[in-house]
Amino acid sequence: MGGYGVSLVGHCHPKIVQAIKEQCERLLSCHSSLYNDKRAELIEKLIRILPKGLTRMFLSNSGAEAIECAIKIAVKYTGKNEFISMIRGYHGKTLGALSATWNPKYRDPFKSILVPSFKFTPFGRIDRAEDAVTDKTAAIIIEPIQGEGGVHLPPDDFLKEIRRLCDERGILLIMDEIQTGLGRTGKMWASEHWNVKPDIICISKALASGIPIGVTAAREDIMNSLSIGEHTSTFSGNPIACAAASATIDVILEEKLVERARNIGEYFKRLLLKLQDKHPIIRDVRGLGLMIGLEFRFSIHNILSEALRSGVLLLHSGRNIIRFLPPLVIEKKHLENVVDILDGILRKEERRIKTAR
């Protein structure tokens, strides 16, 4: 589970703990209307790793907040108010982010107060996205690989086509890399797998290794459309969060975790494909780097609780998909152990299903 994707560099990495301790002794809080050295340091480091040109950023405290800011700047920059989001897309649960989130389970209880100008089109169908565009469309918001929705990869040309559509129709492309970013998929940003550069990018989750932070980064002309005071938050750019995030970026680069995710991710996928050969109840193995989905032909409720009893904390997407988001520092022996445990559980499950028939 890896802390829902937060523990990218593992748990309590000594360099990050040290950075947090040092900052605690210097300054706990500093409103973003004032200069702060740790914030400046983080922004410089982010500019070095972000897609070129995304040099202006708003710092916040969560993934959903990073999305809220992206929605507001898209409206401000384009003067338009419609959005296109993807079926099975997930962007958070605050009202703006929930308006962009597809799952009816999360939306329906609050439907009456959600932003009405969000349309949902199938992930992978450029024709449907084209049909949904109007003269009022401000932005398309998309995860490069859908996480919560079940680890779905886009068809090969889809993100490129979305970029083309945005360019042709003067629409902004908001890339939600909250779950996929920072090396998780074997590239610093998952959108790099398809050579697609967004106008606005949202980052959060693993960035500060567990200290709350969100980042919305955009081109300068886009971010400048916000006037001073139009979008603020008391804790925005908190120095402890910035110190933790700055140290996290150092660790990702120093320990070459992006390459590690690619290599060890391929190894893990091979193990899971072998497991699929043995167990036909596994319908699909898919993913990139260390973001891997294992889809079953039935509910995985029993598998999750059995795994927990054996010491493996698994994350699910919906009722039949296991979503692996392990730390990028995980070792082969841990992954082999997980696969062995799953092998035993699946053998038991298959026996149970047979006798129930």
Instruction: By CB under 6 A, name the binding residues for ligand PLP.
Output: 62-64, 67, 90-92, 143, 147-148, 176, 178-179, 204
Cβ proximity to ligand PLP: between 68 and 295 the closer is 68
Cβ proximity to ligand PLP: between 73 and 271 the closer is 73
Rg (CA), the chain: 21
- In angstroms, give the least distance from the CB of 127 to ligand PLP: 24
- In 79-207, alpha helices (H): 95-100, 104-107, 126-132, 158-169
- In angstroms, give the least distance from the CB of 227 to ligand PLP: 26
d(CA 175, CA 67): 10
Structure token pair of residue 193? 């797998």
In the bound state, the residue with its beta carbon closest to ligand PLP is 63
Strand order in the sheet with 56-60: 56-60, 214-218, 200-203, 172-176, 137-142, 82-86, 118-121
Residue 3 half-sphere exposure, CB side, CA atoms within 13 Å? Answer: 18
Cβ proximity to ligand PLP: between 176 and 349 the closer is 176
d(CA 91, CA 68): 9
Cβ proximity to ligand PLP: between 234 and 355 the closer is 234
d(CA 87, CA 171): 19
- In angstroms, give the least distance from the CB of 325 to ligand PLP: 9
d(CA 321, CA 212): 27
Contact 149, 64 (CB under 8 A): no
- In angstroms, give the least distance from the CB of 157 to ligand PLP: 22
- In angstroms, give the least distance from the CB of 42 to ligand PLP: 18
- In angstroms, give the least distance from the CB of 147 to ligand PLP: 5
- In angstroms, give the least distance from the CB of 63 to ligand PLP: 2
Cβ proximity to ligand PLP: between 13 and 88 the closer is 88
Structure token pair of residue 256? 């070459």
Cβ proximity to ligand PLP: between 42 and 175 the closer is 175
Cβ proximity to ligand PLP: between 9 and 64 the closer is 64
Distances (CA, A) of 170 to 45, 74, 220, 332: 30, 11, 17, 46
